[in-house]
C-alpha cells in the first residue's frame, strides 16, 4: 500500500513540475485565459443545464475547471510546437475549429436554449440556402437584442477585467491557479465519465459534434426506410364525419401512473385541477395501457392496432391522423419528446401523417441538454387554434413524468418534498429519504402535468365552437409503491384517462354527456382510443368496431393485454 502511494506521489510530483515548468517557460497568461474562455463556450450549455436542474455548485465548478484544463492543454500545445511549423499550423487549425464550434454552441444556447446537438445539426442539415438567407436577418436581430441586455455587458466587463487582472498577477500565483484548476478539471472529468450513463462526449466539442452527426445520419436513414413503408388510408370513401367536435386535442402523457393522482385517491394533492371536477371533465378510472413501453403503447393509441397479438405489420393499420385528415380536419403533431434515439418509437414515424409536425423538445434522446417543460406546447396550441377556422385535431405528446423526474417541472413549481412523501403516504419501510425525494420529484411532475391540462381546458372552454380534450398516459411507473423497486411494471399499467367537452359541445350534443357519465367506470384498453374518438366526433369508418368502443352501448368487456400478456 505504501509503495503504491509512493508511486502516485512521484507521478503527481512529476506532473506538477512539468506543468509548472512549461507554464513558466513561455505560456502567456492571457493566451491561457483566452483559450479557457473559448473552452467555456464549448460547455456553456452544460453549465446552464446544471444551473437549471440540479444547482450542484461542486459539479458546475468541475465543468469550469475542465474548461481551464482544456485551455491549459491548448496553450501548452502551442509552446511545444513552437519549433515545428507543420505541427504548429496543425495546432492552430485545431484551435480554429475548436473556437468555431464553441462559438456556435454558445450563440445557439444563448439565443435558442440548446447548443450543438442532434437537433441543431438536423436543423442545419434540413435547411436550404433560401431558408438561410431568410433566417439571417432574424439571427442578427436576436444578437442585437441580446447585446442590449445588462447580462451581456456584465459578461463583457467581467472578461475585460479578467484579461486586465491576469496579465498583472505574479507568475507563481498564475502557475498555482492554472495547475489547481487543471487538476480539479481532470478529477471532475474522470468522475463524470465513470459515473454518467449518457452523454459522455458532451464535454468535448469535437467528439460531441462527430457523435451527433453520426446519430443524425443513421436516424434519418432509418426514418426514411420506415416512412417508405407507410400506406395510404384504406377504404377512404367510408370515412365520413359530422365533426361534432370541431377542435379536438389529444394529450398523450408519459410514465404517469394512475396511483399517483389524487383524483384517483393518492393521499398527496397532486391533481387539484382534475379533482375540482370543473368544466365537464370526465375522469375514467379503469383505463389500462397496452404496454409498459412508449414504443408499443402510443402506436396502438393512434392506429387500429389492438392491445394484444395482431396479424400483419404496423403499416397495414390505418392511423388516427390520416383518418381525421379524411374527415376534413387539419391535423397537428406537437411534441415535447424526441423524434429519434434510444427512446424513439414508431410514433415518430406515424406522426408524419399529420398536416403539420412540430418537435419543440429534443431531436434525439442523446440530446440530454435540450430539455423544455411541457408548458412550451401551450403557445404552439393556442397560436394554431386562433389562426384557423377549420376543424382541427391536435396530438400533444408530453414529456410528462419521464425519468429524470426532477427535470419535468420548474423548480419554482415544486409542491412536495421528501418529508411530505414520508409523512403523507402509506408506510413503506423500504423508503429512505433519498428514495422519498425521488417520489417527491415524480409527484411534482404529475402536479405540473395537471396544471398544463388546466391551461388546455381553459383555452378550449372559451371557444365558441364545440371542442374536446382527451388526456391519457402511455404507461404507468412503479415508484417504490409496493416494494423497493423503481421502473416499469405491468402491475402499474393503469393510467389516468380524462375526457373534457366544452359548453358548446354539450349544447349541441347533450346525449353525449350521459354517455360519458355512464362510461367512467368501464374497463377498457387505451389501444381502443381510436374507436372512442370516432364516436366522440360523430364519425364513421369501415374499421370502426363498436364492441371495442367504451363510449358505445355495444361495448363488450374482454380480456385486456399489456405487452401481449392477458391481464384480466
Q: For 281-323, write each residue's pLDDT tens digit.
A: 999 999 999 998 888 899 999 999 999 888 877 788 999 999 9
* Rama region for 536: left / alpha / beta (φ>0; ψ in -120 to 50; rest): alpha
Domain assignment of residue 264, yes or no: yes
For residue 525, pLDDT over 90 is answered with: yes
Residue that is last in its domain, among 190, 220, 250: 220
> Would you say residue 1 lies in a domain?
no
Indicate if 264 and 176 belong to the same structural domain: no
In a domain, 2, yes or no: no
CATH of the domain at 444: 3.40.720.10
* Residue 308 is assigned to a structural domain of this protein: yes
Boundaries of domain holding 64: 7-220
Same domain, 276 and 178: no
C-alpha cell at 421: 412523501
Number of compact structural domains in the chain:
2
Asked whether residue 174 falls in the same domain as residue 247, the answer is no
Query: Does residue 216 sit in the same domain as residue 294?
Result: no
Task: Give the position of cell 444547482.
Answer: 55
CB atoms within 10 A of CB 139: 13
423 in a structural domain: yes
Q: Is the pTM of this model over 0.85?
A: no
Residues 161 and 304 in one domain: no
Same domain, 257 and 183: no
Residue 441 has phi, psi (to 5 degrees) of: -60, -40
* pLDDT at residue number 310: 86
Domain stops at, among 185, 220, 255: 220
- 49 vs 40: CA distance, rounded Å: 14
Mean of per-residue pLDDT scores for the chain: 86
Closest by CA position to 375, among listed 392, 399, 403: 399
Q: Is residue 233 part of a domain?
A: no
Look-up of cell digits 433519498: 434
Please give the backbone phi and psi of residue 193, each rounded to the nearest 5 degrees, phi first.
-65, -35
Element (H, E) at 131: helix 129-147
The 10s digit of each residue's pLDDT in 343-363 is 345 677 788 888 998 888 766
Instruction: Give the model's pLDDT for residue 26.
Output: 46
* Residue 387 included in any domain: yes
Q: Which residues contact 201 (CB under 8 A, 6 or more apart)?
A: 207, 208, 211
Last residue within a domain, chosen from 220, 253, 268:
220
- CA 510, CA 494: separation in Å to the nearest integer? 29
Helical H runs in 196-235? Answer: 205-227
Residues 313, 176 within the same domain:
no
Spatial contact of 276 and 325, defined as CB atoms under 8 Å apart = no
Dist. CA 185–CA 68, nearest whole Å: 7
Across the range 525-534, mean pLDDT stands at 97
pLDDT at 133 (0 to 100): 65
Amino acid at each position: 500500500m505504501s509503495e503504491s502511494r509512493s508511486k502516485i506521489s512521484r507521478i503527481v510530483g512529476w506532473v506538477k513540475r512539468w506543468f509548472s515548468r512549461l507554464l513558466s517557460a513561455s505560456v502567456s497568461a492571457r493566451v491561457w485565459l483566452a483559450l479557457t474562455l473559448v473552452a467555456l463556450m464549448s460547455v456553456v450549455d452544460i453549465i446552464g443545464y446544471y444551473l437549471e436542474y440540479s444547482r450542484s455548485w461542486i459539479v458546475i465548478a468541475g465543468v469550469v475547471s475542465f474548461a481551464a484544463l482544456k485551455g491549459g492543454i491548448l496553450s501548452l500545445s502551442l509552446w511545444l510546437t513552437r519549433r515545428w511549423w507543420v505541427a504548429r499550423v496543425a495546432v492552430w487549425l485545431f484551435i480554429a475549429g475548436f473556437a468555431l464550434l464553441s462559438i456556435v454552441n454558445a450563440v445557439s444556447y444563448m439565443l435558442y436554449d440548446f447548443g450543438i446537438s442532434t437537433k441543431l445539426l438536423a436543423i442545419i442539415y434540413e435547411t436550404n440556402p433560401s431558408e438561410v438567407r431568410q433566417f439571417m436577418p432574424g439571427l442578427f436581430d436576436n444578437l442585437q437584442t441580446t447585446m442590449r441586455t445588462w447580462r451581456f455587458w456584465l459578461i463583457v466587463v467581467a472578461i475585460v477585467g479578467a484579461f486586465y487582472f491576469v496579465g498583472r498577477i505574479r507568475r507563481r500565483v498564475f502557475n498555482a491557479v492554472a495547475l489547481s484548476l487543471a487538476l480539479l478539471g481532470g478529477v471532475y472529468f474522470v468522475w463524470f465519465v465513470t459515473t454518467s450513463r449518457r452523454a459522455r462526449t458532451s464535454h468535448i466539442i469535437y467528439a460531441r459534434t462527430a457523435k451527433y452527426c453520426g446519430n443524425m445520419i443513421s436516424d434519418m436513414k432509418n426514418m426514411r426506410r420506415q416512412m417508405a413503408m407507410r400506406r395510404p388510408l384504406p377504404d377512404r370513401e367510408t370515412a365520413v364525419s359530422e365533426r361534432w367536435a370541431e377542435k379536438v386535442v389529444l394529450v398523450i402523457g408519459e410514465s404517469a401512473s394512475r396511483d399517483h393522482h389524487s383524483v384517483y385517491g393518492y393521499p398527496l394533492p397532486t391533481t387539484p385541477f382534475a379533482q375540482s371536477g370543473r368544466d365537464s371533465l370526465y375522469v375514467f378510472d379503469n383505463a389500462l395501457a397496452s404496454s409498459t413501453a412508449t414504443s408499443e403503447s402510443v402506436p396502438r393509441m393512434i392506429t387500429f392496432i389492438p392491445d394484444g397479438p395482431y396479424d400483419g405489420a404496423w403499416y397495414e393499420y390505418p392511423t388516427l391522423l390520416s383518418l381525421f385528415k379524411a374527415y376534413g380536419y387539419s391535423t397537428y403533431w406537437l411534441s415535447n419528446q424526441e423524434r429519434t434515439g434510444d427512446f424513439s418509437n414508431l410514433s415518430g414515424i406515424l406522426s408524419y401523417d399529420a398536416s403539420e409536425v412540430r418537435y419543440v423538445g429534443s431531436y434525439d434522446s442523446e440530446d440530454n441538454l435540450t430539455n423544455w417543460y411541457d408548458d412550451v406546447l401551450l403557445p404552439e396550441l393556442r397560436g394554431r387554434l386562433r389562426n384557423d377556422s377549420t376543424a382541427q385535431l391536435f396530438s400533444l405528446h408530453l414529456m410528462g413524468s419521464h425519468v429524470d423526474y426532477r427535470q419535468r417541472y420548474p423548480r419554482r413549481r415544486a409542491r412536495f418534498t421528501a418529508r411530505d412523501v414520508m409523512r403523507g403516504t402509506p408506510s413503506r419501510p423500504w423508503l429512505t429519504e433519498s428514495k422519498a425525494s425521488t417520489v417527491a420529484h415524480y409527484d411534482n411532475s404529475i402536479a405540473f402535468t395537471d396544471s398544463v391540462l388546466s391551461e388546455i381546458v381553459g383555452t378550449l372552454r372559451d371557444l365558441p365552437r364545440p371542442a374536446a380534450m382527451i388526456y391519457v398516459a402511455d404507461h404507468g411507473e412503479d415508484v417504490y409503491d409496493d416494494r423497493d423497486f423503481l421502473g416499469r411494471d405491468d402491475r402499474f399499467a393503469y393510467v389516468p384517462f380524462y375526457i373534457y367537452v366544452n359548453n358548446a359541445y354539450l349544447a349541441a350534443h347533450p346525449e353525449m354527456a350521459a354517455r360519458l357519465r355512464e362510461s367512467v367506470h368501464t374497463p377498457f384498453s387505451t389501444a381502443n382510443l381510436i374507436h372512442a374518438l370516432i364516436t366522440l366526433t360523430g364519425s364513421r369508418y369501415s374499421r370502426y368496431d363498436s364492441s371495442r368502443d367504451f363510449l358505445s352501448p355495444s361495448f363488450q368487456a374482454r380480456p385486456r393485454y399489456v405487452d401481449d400478456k392477458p391481464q384480466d
